[in-house]
Structure 1
Amino acid sequence: MSIFLADAPATQPGSSIWGLLLPFVLMFVVFYFLLIRPQQKKQKQRNLMLHQLKKGDKIVTIGGLHGTIVELTDDTVVLRVNDTMKLTFDRSAISTVSQSAPAAE
Structure 2
Amino acid sequence: MNFFVSNSLAATSGTSSQGNSYSLAIMLVIFSLLFYFIILRPQQIRTKERKKLMDSISKGDEILTNGGLIGRVIKVIETGYLIISLNETTEVMIKSDFVNTILPKGTIKAL
Number of residue equivalences: 102
* Aligned-partner Cα distance in 1 for 2:64–2:38: 28
- Matched with 2:99 is 94
2:66 to 59, 62, 65: 62
RMSD over aligned CA atoms reads: 2.1
Q: Is the 8 A contact 1:78 1:87 kept in 2?
A: yes
Q: Could you tell me the TM-score, scaled by structure 2's length?
A: 0.79
SS of residue paired to 1:25: helix
Measure how far apart 1:98 and its partner are: 1.0
- Matched with 1:40 is 44
Q: Is the 8 A contact 1:76 1:89 kept in 2?
A: yes
Q: Unaligned stretches of 5+ in structure 1? A: none
* Aligned-partner Cα distance in 1 for 2:98–2:71: 12
* Aligned-partner Cα distance in 2 for 1:51–1:64: 21
Residue 78 (structure 1) aligned with residue 80 (structure 2): no
* Aligned-partner Cα distance in 1 for 2:97–2:103: 16
Task: Name which of structure 1's ranges 4-13 and 38-47 shifts more when overlaid on structure 2.
Answer: 4-13
Q: Is the 8 A contact 1:57 1:101 kept in 2?
A: no
Moved over 6 A (4+): none
Kindly indicate which of the two structures has a greater share of residues assigned to helix: 2
Q: Could you tell me the TM-score, scaled by structure 1's length?
A: 0.83
* Aligned-partner Cα distance in 2 for 1:14–1:100: 65
* Aligned-partner Cα distance in 1 for 2:7–2:34: 38
Asked which structure has the greater CA Rg, the reply is 2
Q: Unaligned stretches of 5+ in structure 2? A: none
Letter in 1 for 2:8: A
